[in-house]
A and B are shown apart, each in its own frame.
Chain A
Amino acid sequence: MTWLRQGGIGAFIIRRLLLGVLVLVLVSILVFAATQALGDPARAILGRDATPASLAALRAELDLDQSVLGQYLSWAGGLLNGDLGNSLAAQQPVTELLGSRLVNSSVLVLCAAVISIPLSIAIGSWAALRREKAFDTVSSSAMLALAALPEFVVAVLLVMLFATTVLQVLPAISPISPGQRPWDVPEGLVLPTATLVLAVAPYVARIMRASMVEVLESDYVEMARLKGLPERTVLIRHALPNAIGPVFQVIAINLAYLAGGVVVIEYVFNYSGIGSALQDAVVNHDIPVVQALAMLIAGVYVLLNLLADVATILVTPRLRTRL
């Protein structure tokens, strides 16, 4: 196993993968324990006046008659096989229930990522180049203010501005009927996407600015300038690749955060994605759905962090020697 401790980037990725799997196993234990420990799910579902017979039947359906370890193993085994169990409220497989909603939410998060990442990298870099000048002052203050606002506040403000109080150019809600895809109603995507962009961009732009400021003051950028390279080349070939390393981590954290942050935003816009599914499941005590969504969001988080670590290593050669 010594090669795992030393050997280069391949071993690093394997090590991070193993760590990610470990975190996921721990997460699954936590999710399972949290949802099982809090009372009898069968009674929670059926209510106080359930008959003993119906309680027993539901317990059998939920595998609650097995030992705790047995229940965990059968649940975790199902997860690995892609069998997430049946929704208690909808009486249909969780995968079927969540499938189209997962697509809807992914479209939203993807749109937000595609717009916010280049935008915030551009704003951050430009602010760093124009340090202490008007653009930097204005954008930094705006980013600071936006970063502090809870996203549902941003969402409702956007609805006021563009859909109700001030202008009426966009729909205030973006429901997606069954069978419809989000891209069938593109105008409905505008405000939710804008909210997510405004929620994420400030963080990425701020870290990009800080990182770029540091790089622009470095010796190698000065050297490149002294060599007489055109400013364009200095920025794109020398400064940007070095400044972008720390930004990957922040992007990953923010995308993972989006996976959870969509809960509130989907609620504001009545958008049928995993966020509103989680909210419904939570209200209905639909434990299999809650468990599946918790594992899904945690899995996204672990995966994104893994990708960010690998990306950081790839763009930061000096970190490779420390592997």
Chain B
Amino acid sequence: MSQTGQALAEGVGTPTPPVRSSTLVTRAFRLWRTRIGALFVLILVVVAIVGPYVAPHTASEFVAIPNSPPGGDAGVLGTDYLGQDVLSRFLYGGRGILVMAAVSTAIGLVLGVAIGLVAAYTRNALDDVLMRAMDVIMAFPQIMLALVAVSLVGAQTWVIIVAIAVTTAPRVARVARGAAQPVVERDFVAATESMGLSRVRILTGELLPNILGPMMVEASLRLTYSIGVIAALAFLGLSPDPNGANWGTMIQQNQIALATQPWGALTPIIAIALLTMGTGLFGDGIARTAAGIDRERGDE
């Protein structure tokens, strides 16, 4: 039986069982955009993990005259403003960004989903209080709150992670609440309530599986933004190690030599662009697939 038939069959009997997240991803991979997105991300993740082991030089080693174009002693991508090897710094520079982005987005997602589900489920004053609190945080652009937090406490890794997580959570919470609200109204939730299931079980066992589709889309979207903000902070000179190899820092430091040795800035630019476009394309693939499944089921 085709997957379409399967999805339709799943829709019969029980009231719209959740789309298994594994099914959703498998089906999303039939779209080219999902494959390309995943490939981009995979390449950059491999660079970030393996890069430091295969780099020809260390990140801070003097190799040749500053801003030498590619070739000879200067290596395949030339040297940067301090005469360091651009290729090596590129290979070292992804890990910090990727780890911080992944950790902060994950924390923000968990917080946001929890708040959104509680707000959608309670439907009372707590809902209002939670959502107003989210409004307050969302009144600040993400980069601005991160900038202020970093300036007040310092550009330590944990400060950046907390700042991104705290600004990610309300945006996730709003989407989670919106997605969960129609689910809360369904009969099967009332049924589990009458069966005496605990609230935690209802939230995690009944509501959460039903909003996994939109949450996966939101996760990749938020990851895209987190990478952007963390790279932008480094670009503004606010990273845990201001002289360390970091794609954002590299762009800022080598911006001055764009006319003569563009590779110093262009290499990290390509890396960040591929990474964020990858997460963006992947999320769009998931979103389209989820919307397609809804249409087949006649949810629209």
Contacts and interface: CB of A to CB of B under 8 A. Distances in A.
* A joins B in a complex: yes
Contact of A263 (B33, B147, B255): B147
B143 A282 contact: no
A149 B273 contact: yes
Contacts of A175: none
A20 to B, nearest CB: 9
B276 A294 contact: no
A152 B280 contact: no
Given A23-B132, A164-B259, A165-B262, A278 B144 contact: yes
A256 B141 contact: yes
A22 B133 CA distance: 11
B136 A261 contact: no
A279 B147 contact: yes
Interface stretch (B11-19, B176-184, B206-214, B231-239): B231-239
A152 B140 contact: no
B227 interface: yes
A160 B281 contact: no
Nearest to B139: A298
B162 interface: no
Interface in A1-38: 22-24, 26-27, 30, 34-35, 38
Interface in A250-286: 256-257, 259-261, 263-264, 267-268, 278-279, 282-283, 285
Interface string B228-268: 11011001100000000000000100010011001001100
A267 B258 contact: no
Contacts of B276: 148-150, 153
B151 A23 contact: no
Contacts of A260: 140-144
Nearest to B259: A164
B136 A294 contact: no
Interface string A147-171: 1111111001101100011001000
B54 interface: no
Task: Give the size range of A's interface with the partner.
Answer: 35 or more
Interface string B258-298: 11001001100100110011011100100000000000000
Nearest to B137: A30
A94 B270 CA distance: 40
Contacts of B132: 22-23, 26
A26 B135 CA distance: 10
Nearest to B150: A282
Is chain A's binding surface mostly helix, strand, loop or mixed? helix
Given A38-B153, A149-B277, A152-B235, A297 B136 contact: no
B152 A34 contact: yes
Most chain B Cβ neighbours within 10 Å, of A23, A172, A279, A282: A282
A198 interface: no
Interface in A128-156: 141, 144-145, 147-153, 156
Interface in A286-323: 290, 294, 297-298, 301-302
Contact of B141 (A150, A261, A285): A261
Interface of B: 33, 132-133, 135-144, 147-153, 224, 227-229, 231-232, 235-236, 251, 255, 258-259, 262, 265-266, 269, 272-273, 276-277, 279-281, 284
Shortest 9 CB-CB distances between A and B: which pairs?
A260-B141, A148-B280, A150-B228, A282-B151, A164-B258, A298-B139, A260-B144, A164-B259, A148-B276
Interface of A: 22-24, 26-27, 30, 34-35, 38, 141, 144-145, 147-153, 156-157, 159-160, 164-165, 168, 172, 256-257, 259-261, 263-264, 267-268, 278-279, 282-283, 285, 290, 294, 297-298, 301-302
8 contacts: A30-B137, A149-B273, A151-B232, A165-B266, A168-B259, A264-B235, A290-B151, A301-B140
